[in-house]
Amino acid sequence: MARERVVSAESQELDGERSAHSLRPARMDDYIGQSDLLERLRIALEAVQQRKESMEHVLLHGPPGLGKTTLAHVIASEMGSRAYITSGPALSKAGDLMGTLTKMESRDVLFIDEIHRLPPAVEEYIYPAMEDFKVDFTVDSGMHAKVISVGLKPFTLIGATTRAGLLSHALRSRFGISHHLDFYDEEDLVRILLRASDLLAMGSFDGEVASLLASRSRGTPRVALRLLRRVRDFAQVRSRGAVTQEVVTDALSLEGVDQLGLDELDRKYLATLVDPYDGGPVGLEAIAATMGDDAGTLEDVVEPYLLQLGFLARTRQGRRLTTRGADHLGISLDTGDDTD
């Protein structure tokens, strides 16, 4: 049985989901990070609340685990409404969306994760819902077919995607607010961890420990909170609940997370670039086939952080290990530079 990847930014069930709601901020004032986006949202929320209207549709794009789903709940909370959560792959046909749209009340929020994976038929169906707050539903077929127009109450659609480039222009243009979420800096991650440790009643968790954990969290809040729960479990069993820097180091070592936040999958990716591909360049599909993993997972979850660290270069010829990445692995490259 495959081991769960503890540093994955993908949403998972188990203990992570059970405590996610208790750790997730409910109000805008409690949300940490993404200051530019928060300022835009505060202005938009205040304006529509004064006019008593629904908020404009919002598109959030960026790596997984940066708080897109949390923002949907925060916006709904600030609007005093309800958030309905679904995903692009779950909406395989237009009828899957019909039930949700028709039961939504005025100013409710519909959050669609992985919106770039909406089937074309559903995407066409959602255009009039976004623009005119109505859906055109076809009844019967052939010469007896007729279109029934069903009115909807004004709502806000929040779309989230890790691949904004795969969105059609027609869909992208219907969002009034579009924003790219950036990786978090260590200071914001420390604040998130300290807030979460208070909610989890981890009394011995202090700023120095939070800083150590934040430095290994890949700039991603979801990863930071997942590592925090692993540290809490380790401390409870091995050190009677006391959380020190040594305890954090031992806990993360047990999970295979090194000082830079790299785990076994990251190291396997880098090792694959070295052997058999001699540092590259090599195509992503070839890397995925050699590793026996999914190319989409590598592109969305592994590569962004390696690019941020400067260990990986994406060139026209393919992926290539940089000099910095080679230094981290303790090897030398034959290539002269890291540019295209």
> Which residues have a catalytic role annotated?
68-69, 113, 162, 222
Q: What is the 3-state secondary structure (H, E, C) of the chain?
A: CCCCCCCCCCCCCHHHHHHHHHHCCCCHHHCCCCHHHHHHHHHHHHHHHHHCCCCCCEEEECCCCCCHHHHHHHHHHHHCCCEEEEEHHHCCCHHHHHHHHHHCCCCCEEEEECHHHCCHHHHHHHHHHHHHCEEEEEECCHHHCEEEEEECCCCEEEEEECCHHHCCHHHHCCCCEEEECCCCCHHHHHHHHHHHHHHCCCCCCCHHHHHHHHCCCCCCHHHHHHHHHHHHHHHHHHCCCCCCHHHHHHHHHHCCCCCCCCCHHHHHHHHHHHCCCCCCCECHHHHHHHHCCCHHHHHHHHHHHHHHHCCEEEECCEEEECHHHHHHHCCCCCCCCCCC
Q: Amino acid identity, residue 38?
A: L
